Amino acid sequence: MAGLPELGLEQFDPESARCQGVSGVLQRVGDKWSVLIVAILAAGPRRFSQLRREIPAISQRMLTLTLRSLERDGLVSRTVTPTIPPRVDYELTTLGHSLQQPVLALAQWAVAHLPEIAEAQARFDTTRERPR
């Protein structure tokens, strides 16, 4: 596997705990909702309702689950202020801020290459016979 030693991946056995751990992290941080939440929180703390307004396509349940997962992974912190009703703020941790640059770079790459990807998909779709 050319190139893997340079990336530090030469010892990645798909069955190893290390490989499974990396897969889990990449799955989480590569998730579309996680990417959006990290990008929004990069600008500063937000309340749950603010995040809901800034990501209208996400359901309340999915936002809750994604925030909980990001908090569990140490990427987002949750602060509850005892008011009526309670105020809950979310913000990136130091670890979360370290994810900001790669996530934003990936998002920028996707935006920059959308036309090329759409063309490739159209070519693929026209050359493949669809099953009936």
Tell me the pLDDT of the chain (132 aa) as tens digits. Answer: 455 555 565 556 666 666 666 777 777 777 889 989 998 999 999 999 999 999 999 999 999 999 999 999 999 999 999 999 888 999 999 999 998 888 888 878 888 999 999 999 999 999 886 665
Phi, psi of 108 (to 5 degrees): -65, -40
- The CATH topology of domain 25-127 is Arc Repressor Mutant, subunit A (1.10.10)
What pLDDT does residue 131 have? 62
Q: Can you give the pTM of this predicted structure?
A: 0.73
| CA dihedral sign, ordered 22, 23, 24, 30 | positive
b/e code 5-20 from CB counts within 10 Å (16+ = b): eeeeeeeeeeeeeeee
* pLDDT for 1: 46
The helix/strand/coil state of 119 is helix
The H or E element spanning position 85 is none
* Domain spans, the chain: 25-127
